[in-house]
Chain A
Amino acid sequence: MADASSKPVARPQRPLSPHLQIYTPLINMVMSILHRLTGAALYFGTLLLAWWLIAAATGPAYFDYVSSWFSPWYGQAVLIGYTWALFHHMLGGVRHFIWDLGYGYDLRTVDQLSWGSGALSLIITGLIWLGVAFARGGF
């Protein structure tokens, strides 16, 4: 039998399988990539949640210090970005559930689900932070 790990053999120059750069970006492809990216962002973002919980458990002084990182524009930007990543990933998950159950595989529906979940993630994020700003008397 052939031993795959033995000495290297000169291989014929076969065509390589095409990768991402060869394809026109389609919306379901973009959403799939964003699903993975937002998942990774949420992964590292849990550091912020853990940090916040530890701060609350530590005491007022340290809590105020941690809060001071989230109050300026860059802190708010991170929170808004995290909210968007969460909803994008969440709605992407719902889209995947629909596909897991065997529905929505015709191209029209695939496009609609992809555009829809992307748009909805932006709308929900906007509404939540407008609501927060409004509740805090920002307007």
Chain B
Amino acid sequence: MAMRTPLKTARQLGSAKEGADHFWKQRVTAVANLVLGLFLVWLIASLVGADHATVKAKLANPVIALGLLALIVSGTVHMRLGMQTIIEDYVHKDGSKIVLLMLNTFFAAAIALTSVYAILKLSFGG
């Protein structure tokens, strides 16, 4: 006899209470990174050996700055999710797992914030 109400189906969140959220975010950011990663390769390749003034002018270009900001946001979300999976696969002690998962979040946030700060400074910092 079925003891469950249709509520679980309606919520579609399953036992982990987040449903396919991790999977889906990983895919959405992966699609974004596909385009933005190619953009980054083009950007870096075109700036190899360039002096500071050239690099600064290029990174201050609004289109390039926006592309980089998008890459930073999408990339750091994607890499945090990926590293979370690696940690959950290999680290089974609760203590170390919780610490590593926190460090993972801090690392991704630190990369995101410092990069965004640098890009904004290049655009608006004069």
Contact = CB atoms under 8 A, between A and B. Distances in A.
Contacts of B100: none
B45 A131 contact: yes
Contact of B27 (A60, A71, A100): A100
A93 B118 contact: no
Interface string A74-94: 000001000100100010011
Given A42-B79, A132-B45, A132-B48, A53 B119 contact: yes
B121 A57 contact: yes
Nearest to B116: A53
A53 B125 CA distance: 13
B114 A50 contact: yes
A46 B75 contact: yes
A46 B79 contact: yes
Contacts of A63: 52, 55
Q: Interface residues of B: mostly helix, strand, loop or mixed?
A: helix
Contact of A57 (B44, B53, B75, B122): B122
B45 to A, nearest CB: 5
A57 B125 contact: yes
Contacts of B33: 90, 93
B105 interface: no
B86 interface: yes
A56 B59 contact: yes
Contacts of B34: 90, 93-94
B83 interface: yes
B83 A40 contact: yes
Given A39-B79, A39-B82, A46-B75, A54 B37 contact: no
A119 B31 CA distance: 21
B126 to A, nearest CB: 11
Interface in A21-62: 36, 39-40, 42-43, 46-47, 49-50, 53-54, 56-57, 59-60
Contacts of B83: 39-40, 43
A123 interface: no
Closest 8 CB pairs of A and B: A53-B118, A57-B118, A60-B52, A63-B52, A57-B121, A43-B79, A50-B115, A54-B118
16 contacts: A39-B79, A40-B86, A49-B111, A50-B111, A50-B118, A53-B114, A53-B122, A56-B56, A57-B118, A59-B52, A60-B53, A79-B44, A90-B33, A90-B37, A136-B48, A136-B49
